[in-house]
Chains A and B, each alone.
Chain A
Amino acid sequence: MYRTLRLCSSGGGFEALPDPPRPLNLGRVRAALEAAGVSVIDARVMLIASLETEVTISRAGRLLFKTADPAAADRAFARLRPLLE
């Protein structure tokens, strides 16, 4: 579902989009994150998960990793991806 991680348009973080586009059930994602011991803020239309870096998870499926360090984004992405699929 998620294949690539790319620099976001403002250059301050990395983003991943579902391919093909697919909305997320944020309630289920939140439960999976919390079961894995990840702290989550639930803003209803998006979740903010505290992994190695903070990640915004939108209902449309967009993931935004708030770091300029590609290695840190990769590690957080690797941990998050199985929890979304």
Chain B
Amino acid sequence: MARGVMLMSGGIDSPVAMHYLLRQGHELLAVHMDNRPFTDDSPLSKVVDHLAILRERYHQPIPLYVVPHGTTQVTLMRETDRHVGCVLCRRFMWRSAERVAEREGATFLVTGEALGQVASQTLSNMRSATASVHLPIVRPLIGFDKQEIEAVAKSIGTYEISTRPGVCCQAVPDKPATRSNLVQILREEEQLDVEQMIDDCVRKAVIL
């Protein structure tokens, strides 16, 4: 079975997506993009608790890379168009995950995205975000609706963790773009030293 890197947010979807791939016997590593100070400590503690459940259930070590993302958020907020902030943020998350995958010999990336659930998960935004990486991206939940995902989360014991109180991401703009244009996204990134930003974040990652 293949080795993959899963982006874990602390929300309802990502542990469910991970559950499906672990059930198939794939070997997974987790990456959590640590959005503090734009969130509180709760997303990380939720991811840690999700992984405890999934490690026990599937008898896999599932290493967790905690990649600091707050500095990147500050740069994006200061230097780029706020309207496309979620897409840009997502591109940096994918790049960080891909960098971890390269380091760990993983051959694919995984996400809990389901089409149309939130602003960043429209087809055009997904395309703009994932054009930043080369590895294949697996989305086990792409056609699920929220109720289906929640039902699975409850059955595997991760729902109660995901729904604990926590501060939402404060970097989300008031009116995030739902239909992004890749040309504009690339133009926004021309102002940034993308490789250096990714290097800085991944170098500071902590493995739990």
Could you tell me which A residues sit within 8 Å of B by CB distance? 8-13, 41-46, 48, 54, 56, 58, 60, 64, 66-68
Contact = CB atoms under 8 A, between A and B. Distances in A.
A43 B74 contact: yes
**Majority-rule SS of B interface residues:** loop
B139 interface: no
A33 to B, nearest CB: 14
Given A43-B77, A46-B77, A46-B170, 17 more contacts: A8-B168, A9-B168, A10-B168, A11-B165, A12-B40, A12-B166, A41-B37, A43-B73, A43-B74, A43-B78, A44-B77, A48-B38, A64-B167, A64-B170, A66-B39, A67-B40, A68-B165
Contacts, number: 48
B132 interface: no
Interface residues of B, number: 17
A56 B165 contact: no
Contacts of B78: 42-44
Given A10-B165, A12-B42, A56 B170 contact: yes
Given A41-B37, A48-B37, A66-B40, A13 B167 contact: yes
B165 A54 contact: no
B55 interface: no
A10 B74 contact: no
A13 B40 contact: yes
B69 to A, nearest CB: 13
Nearest to B79: A44
B167 A10 contact: yes
Q: Which of A43, A54, A60 has the most CB of B within 10 A?
A: A43
A67 B109 CA distance: 33
Q: Which of B38, B77, B167, B168 has the most CB of A within 10 A?
A: B167
Contacts of A42: 78
Interface in B12-38: 37-38
Interface string B33-67: 00001111010000000000000000000000000
Given A64-B170, A66-B40, A45 B82 contact: yes
